[in-house]
Amino acid sequence: METLKFYINGEWVEPNQAQTLEVINPATEQSCGRIALGNEQDVNAAVAAAKAAFPAFSQTSREERIALLEKILTGLAARKDDLAEAITAEMGAPAWLSKMAQSAMGAAHFNETLQLLKDYEFESNRGSTRLRKEPIGVCALITPWNWPLNQIACKVAPALAAGCTMVLKPSEIAPFDAAIFTEVLHEAGVPAGVFNMVNGDGPGVGAPLSSHPDVDMVSFTGSTRAGRLISKAAADDIKRVSLELGGKSANIILPTANLEKAVSKGVQSMMMNSGQSCNAPSRMLVPAEKHAEAVEIAKQTAEGLAVNDPHAEGVYLGPVSSDVQFEKIQGLIQKGIDEGAELVVGGTGKPEGLDQGYYVKPTVFANANNQMTIAREEIFGPVLTMIPYASVEEAVDIANDTPYGLSGYVYGETVEEAAGIANQLRTGNVHLNGSGADTKGPFGGYKQSGNGREWGEFGLEEFLEVKAVFGANS
């Protein structure tokens, strides 16, 4: 796979410089292709194209944008296998996960946005005032490698629906699904300049894109560290900045919960995507009197999760995305051991028989406390930290004692009981009794997990400005 050109103003164009980057397949540690790396001149060209396209596209009708999203959905369906294969090769997700979730979520966001667009009220009245919701302008979209197509789609779909134009910088670690996605948009007839794509790294493309004076909004998903840099870069022009950042989500298992079901579900959820999800339930809080029993359930569950080549039969965890990620996770596992947490299963090193590839053992720590490094830092790997609590009130305090606030999980005897605890958590979303995510609901966090929301109606409104037209109804 190679993407040696950028998509600017409706065409694949040569980059400003000749620098390329090898994209590494994390399962083989070998190159699976190359991309060109952009620079400030490429960013300037892409932003100029988006700026020039905005006046016309911002005035398109609802019906025109509905037809465009429908064509994109048709294209995504036709390329779903290509997208899944690219995601597995570039970031290591098991083939079944790439098909059922990684690739499928892209279409899910476009479908949700399409249904929303059909009935969304862009105009309403408040007394004599008419309220108009209008596209914000040129948007910089900067996306991560862990759920690459999901994050591209949940930004591009609402931006198009709102009438915005945009420049996408996908992750240089997982860029090939973005190239296929770009081909889909081109074939669907997205007008020239409305969607542009420039590959590159943070310093070369992300920084000049975030600080560009003709960019009206930056939507970024990634680390909290990078989110700070983007916010600072965008500050001079008072851009709108929407950030979906890191997390250290607590999974509170209440005394009334079915322990076997709650713990096993929590472990499986944590290990999904090799733990590389910002909303992963990485801290499991269990009643102290049930801690030993919960640890045994967690041990058996983790030991039953197969780690192997992403295309292997029955595999649950593929490799983590890169050597950098692998080394970071290894260091944090060692930190957990050094600080005295009980290593239940897993640990440092690669799983037996997997010497090639960035594979990490599914790891569970128990008898931890919330001040340990493994309970404070986002590990972004298949590492679960189990913490005992003496009372439900203490569990809530532990859950909220974190700089993050992206997600939370509560398992109780009934949904009503779990919901009562969810209301006390300082997080942007909460999963009750093993529930999954819903694209109709907003996704985003409190505190250092970011600001703004994605998905559904709230995601669309991130790309809209509100105008009050006084006296329009007098």
Contact criterion met (CB below 8 Å) for 251 and 283: yes
**Domains with residue ranges and CATH for the chain:** 2-245+449-469 (3.40.605.10), 250-440 (3.40.309.10)
Residue 252 pairs with which residues in a beta bridge? 285, 410
Residue written as token pair 């909290």: 224
CA-wise closest residue to 416 among 246, 256, 213: 256
Under the phi-then-psi rule, with left for phi > 0, alpha for psi from -120 to 50, and beta for the rest, what region is 198? beta
Instruction: List pLDDT tens digits, range 420-447.
Output: 999 999 999 999 999 999 999 999 999 9
Percentages helix, strand, coil for the chain, rounded to the nearest 5?
40, 20, 35
How many percent of the chain have pLDDT more than 90? Answer: 99
Q: Which residues are known catalytic residues?
A: 244
- pLDDT, average across residues 129-142: 98
pLDDT score for 168:
98
pLDDT score for 304:
97
pLDDT score for 371:
98
Residue 31 pairs with which residues in a beta bridge? 24
**If you average pLDDT over every residue of the chain, what do you get?**
97
Q: Binning pLDDT at 50, 70 and 90, where does residue 474 land? A: confident
How many percent of the chain have pLDDT more than 70? Answer: 100
CA-wise closest residue to 360 among 330, 322, 316: 330
> What is the spatial distance between Cα 339 and Cα 362, in angstroms, rounded to a whole number?
19
> What is the spatial distance between Cα 347 and Cα 358, in angstroms, rounded to a whole number?
14
- pLDDT, average across residues 307-312: 97
Pairing of strands 6-8, 11-13: antiparallel
Does pLDDT of 327 surpass 90?
yes
Does pLDDT of 364 surpass 90?
yes
Kindly report the pTM of this predicted structure.
Answer: 0.97
Helix ranges restricted to H, 215-306: 224-235, 259-271, 291-303
pLDDT score for 18:
84
Does pLDDT of 224 surpass 90?
yes
Token couple for 114: 């399409």
